[in-house]
Amino acid sequence: MASSSPPQPLLRGLPAAALLLLLLVLAPAADALACSSQNITNSTLYSTCLDLPTLSASLHFSYDRANSSAAVAFVAAPPKGEDGWVAWALNPTATGMFGAQALIAFRDAGVMTVKTYNITNTTVRESPISFETWDRAAEYKSADGTMRIYAKIKLPTGDPAKLNQVWQVGSSVTNGVPDQHAMAAENLGSKGTLDLVAGTGRSPAPAPTLVPTTAPTLAAPPPSGVSRIGEGSNGAFLVLSLAFLVSSFFGF
């Protein structure tokens, strides 16, 4: 009676698995522009770099266990160059944008700056955030069109190996306020978990991790330990992300 159990779940999982393999094959080429080649200011501050799974973004970081703090350098390219913005955030209370304690970099009255935002809805306003930051700086590199956020942060209480991070890019800023970002799959899926601890003490950057942990919705993450790659909207998300990565890889 083994034939009575339908093979659908496996079959449904196969295309996503094949795409994941394809993505892993393409990854080294796509990453040639990211982590390793980025000319990060004060690069010795950061022991590890991760290429994030969407928006061609990277995070360089070091974790200071004694101080419960981290040095971070976030790198991404605003879609239309230097008039845009880039954002990186930890979210102590949820997995998406709402609740994110964000650092946003942009050119403000001609000067690259990085400001803090407690994001509660789609209208962002500069405000204090729930953890301390210092040594904040921002740069725009016209050579590769990237903006960088540099900061040291006192980590929120909780496990530094299981942080929720969120990142984003936008193409414009109006009167010192970052405008709404695009709503493409890669913009909605730009979030995941961050393990600062595994990154400490490693000099060579670890292999890029692929962690689109949640579907591009505000829904709760799947139960831990359960692989959902081939299922439902996570599968759709992977396919969309892949479509984006492939098209950007080939320069479409």
Ligand X SMILES: *[C@@H]1O[C@H](CO)[C@@H](O)[C@H](O)[C@H]1NC(C)=O
Sign of CA dihedral 36, 80, 78, 28: negative
Q: Which two tokens stand for residue 146?
A: 């990237």
Residue 189 Cβ, how far from ligand X at the closest point, in Å? 23
Interface with ligand X in residues 138-157 (CB under 6 A): 150, 154
DSSP code string of 70-93: EEEEEEE--TTGGGSEEEEEE-SS
Name, in order, each residue with C-beta under 8 angstroms of 5's C-beta and a sequence gap of 6 or more: none
Any contact of residue 93 with ligand X (CB under 6 A)?
no
Any contact of residue 123 with ligand X (CB under 6 A)?
yes
Any contact of residue 69 with ligand X (CB under 6 A)?
yes
**Residue from the set 36, 41, 93, 248 that interacts with ligand X by CB under 6 A:** 41
Angle between helices 232-249 and 8-31 (to 10 degrees): 30
Any contact of residue 247 with ligand X (CB under 6 A)?
no
Any contact of residue 36 with ligand X (CB under 6 A)?
no
Piece of 127-135, 195-203, 218-226, 232-240 that binds ligand X (CB under 6 A): 127-135
Instruction: Rank residues 64 and 179 by Cβ distance to ligand X and give the closer one.
Output: 64
169, 85 in Cβ contact below 8 A? yes
33, 208 in Cβ contact below 8 A? no
Any contact of residue 3 with ligand X (CB under 6 A)?
no
117, 104 in Cβ contact below 8 A? yes
Instruction: Rank residues 39 and 180 by Cβ distance to ligand X and give the closer one.
Output: 39
Q: In the complex, which residues of this chain contact ligand X (CB under 6 A)?
A: 39, 41-42, 64, 67, 69, 118, 120-121, 123, 125, 127-130, 132, 134-135, 137, 150, 154
